[in-house]
A and B are shown apart, each in its own frame.
Chain A
Amino acid sequence: MPAKFSLDDDSVVVIIGSGAGGGTVSRELTTRGIKVVCLEAGPRLELKDIVNNEAEMFGKLTWLDRRIGEGYAPDGLPLWNVKGVGGTTTHWTANCPRFHDFEFKSLSTYGELEDANLADWPVTLEEMAPWYEKAENMLGVTGTHGIERLPPSANFKVMEAAGRAVGYHDIDTYNMAINSAPRDGRPACLQLGFCNSGCAVNAKWTTLFNHIPQAEATDYYDLRPQSMVTRIITDEKGRASSVRYRDKEGVEHEQKARVV
Chain B
Amino acid sequence: MVQLNRRQMLLAISKAAVASQLMSCTDPVSDTLLHQPETDLQLVAALAYDLFPFPNLDPVMYVQVAEHILAGSTPTFEQGLQELRTASGNLHWLDLDESLRIELLANVEKEPFFAHLRQGTIEILYRSTVTFDMIGYGGSAIEHGGYINRGFDQIDWLPLTGDN
Contacts and interface: CB of A to CB of B under 8 A. Distances in A.
A37 B158 CA distance: 54
A52 B161 contact: no
A157 B148 contact: no
A195 to B, nearest CB: 12
Contacts of A158: 155, 158
B158 A190 contact: no
Given A192-B142, A192-B146, A164 B162 contact: yes
A154 interface: yes
B152 A153 contact: yes
B161 A152 contact: no
B57 to A, nearest CB: 18
B155 to A, nearest CB: 4
B149 to A, nearest CB: 8
A157 B158 contact: yes
Contact of B161 (A53, A154, A161): A161
A68 interface: no
A192 B141 contact: yes
A154 B156 CA distance: 9
Interface residues of B, number: 22
B69 to A, nearest CB: 14
Contacts of A154: 151-155
A151 interface: yes
Among A51, A152, A154, A158, find the residue whose CB has the most chain B CB atoms closer than 10 A.
A154
A14 interface: no
Contacts of A191: 141, 146-148, 152
Interface residues of A, number: 24
B159 A161 contact: yes
Contact of B153 (A51, A53, A157, A189): A157
Contacts, number: 60
Contacts of A153: 152-153
Contacts of B154: 154
Nearest to B143: A52
A53 B143 CA distance: 12
B163 interface: yes
A77 to B, nearest CB: 11
A193 B141 contact: yes
A200 B153 contact: no
A52 B158 CA distance: 29
B145 interface: yes
B140 A164 contact: no
Contact of A165 (B139, B142, B152, B161): B161
A40 B139 CA distance: 32
Nearest to A193: B147
A194 B151 CA distance: 16
Given A192-B147, A200-B142, A53 B127 contact: yes
Interface in B109-138: 123, 126-127
B125 to A, nearest CB: 11
Given A52-B142, A164-B161, A193-B147, 18 more contacts: A53-B140, A55-B127, A152-B153, A154-B151, A158-B155, A158-B158, A160-B161, A161-B158, A164-B162, A164-B163, A165-B161, A190-B142, A190-B145, A190-B146, A192-B140, A192-B141, A201-B142, A201-B146
Closest 3 pairs between A and B when the two form their complex, measured CB to CB: A190-B146, A52-B140, A154-B155
Interface of A: 51-55, 151-154, 157-158, 160-161, 164-165, 169, 189-194, 200-201
20 contacts: A51-B140, A51-B142, A52-B142, A55-B123, A154-B153, A154-B155, A157-B158, A158-B155, A160-B161, A164-B161, A164-B163, A190-B142, A190-B145, A190-B147, A190-B149, A192-B141, A192-B142, A192-B146, A193-B141, A193-B147
